[in-house]
Structure formats: C-alpha cells, structure tokens
Amino acid sequence: MRRRGPDAGDEGQGGDQGQRSNKSADTHGGASVGERPRPGNARSGLNPGCFPGVTPVEWRPMRTLLCTLGFTLALLSASPAHAQFANRSLGLSLGYMDFNRTNGLDDAFFVGVDASLYIENGFEVVSLSKIAFPRDTTDRNEKRVVGLAPSIGIRYLLMEESIRPYVGSDLSYLVVFKNSVSNFVGIGPNVGIDFFVSDSVSVGARAQYNFYIALNEKTQRTLTLSAGAAAYF
C-alpha cells in the first residue's frame, strides 16, 4: 500500500510557517537566531549609510579606529590640569643696573648667572651673580671699572603653574675694582614673573631694589632690571 504524500492542507501550513520564519529573519536584520548581527543594522548602533561609499566590510576597521580615537581623547582629557616641573634651574640673564652713583659708578648693563632650588609650599632659594662694567664718574677720563654683585635670597611663588609671579628678598654683595677695591653689603626686595615655554624651559623678567651699606659710607641705593631664560632639571 502506497504512503500518501502531503495534501494541500499540509502544504499550506508549511508555506505559512516558511513565511513567518522569513519575516522573523527580516525583523532581526537578515540574521537567523544565534547569528551575529550584520554591520549597519539596528544592533550595531552605527549605520555605514551615514558614510557614503563605505561598504559593511570596510566599516568594521573604521569603527575600530573611531573607538580608538575616542578612548585616546578620553585619556587626554583625564590627565592632570597642570604640568609637573623640575625643582632646580640654571639660567642666564641680561639687565640694566642703575648704581645711583654708588661709589661714583654710572649706570651699566650686566650679564648674570642665576640658579634656583625649590624647597616646598611655593618657596625657592635663588642666587644671581652679576658682572658689569660701569664708568667711574670720579675718574677724570671716566674709565670703565669692574663690578661684581653676587646675591642669594628666597622668593615665594604666587602661582606654581606655567605662569609664575613671585616676590622675594635678596642679600647681596657688591665688589668694585677701581684703583682700590670697594666692598658693599646690601639687602632689598624683588619682584618678577616666569613663563614656562615648555616643561623644562622658562623665560622671565625681574626687578630688584637694593640698599648697600659700607663702612664710612652713606647708604647707597641701586635699581636692577633684568630678563633671562632658565633650564629646569
């Protein structure tokens, strides 16, 4: 006895099930249950159609690149707001020194070597050694003489970022080599500002007013203006 084949009713039921299966697959972006969604569907969150000319295969590396760039930007934005600087410096400066007729000396330009050492809480120990060649107004020919002015002091940084204004005070020593050697001891306030052009290099300006004292001499006053650059290490 022959086995009967599927009748028309069975075929209709099979057709309906096939249509429902196809609709379900279309609803999931053309992927069957358990398959990874194709790039560009609703599950991916991004649509390559927004980038004309980009195929789904080309979209995957582009998406990876965008994620990498986003992660890098997040790291950069999370970095500290201020840079870290070294606490020692050595630099050169050029300036103008108004001797105010101290020991008969005229105004002169000078070259200086300066150094600093950061202590803590915004305080630094600083040193500035200057050499100048002023004219001696007490000499008939107003010859140039040698003046050395080393100093050491302390200053307080009002800010500790890439811009550093400060105030301080120095104890200085002035030696003038003329026909005889004259020695002066001085003290005075100073103000200035440093600008960091990188983590290890700064440029700045400084002003200082000194009172010099010597035996058998009146109190002398000098004004010093300078600009320079320093390297931090």
β-bridge partners, 211? 187, 221
Q: Which helix (H) or strand (E) holds 227?
A: strand 220-232
Weakest mean pLDDT among 63-67, 70-74, 117-121, 174-178: 70-74
Please work out, in degrees rounded to the nearest 5, the angle formed at the alpha carbon of residue 209 by the alpha carbons of 124 and 157: 25
pLDDT at 118: 96
Mean pLDDT, to the nearest integer, of 109-134? Answer: 96
pLDDT of 127 higher than 50 = yes
Place of tokens 């429902």: 20
pLDDT at 151: 95
Would you kindly state where each structural domain of the chain is located, as residue ranges? 10-77, 88-232
Quickly count helices (H) and strands (E) in the chain.
2, 8
Classify 88-232 by CATH class. mainly beta
pLDDT of 145 higher than 70 = yes
Cα 142 from chain centre: 47
pLDDT in tens, 182-228: 889 999 999 999 999 999 999 999 999 999 887 777 788 899 999 99
| CB-based contacts of 15-24 (< 8 A; 24+ apart in sequence) | none
pLDDT of 49 higher than 80 = no
Mean pLDDT, to the nearest integer, of 138-155? Answer: 92
User: What's the whole-number average pLDDT of the chain?
Assistant: 77
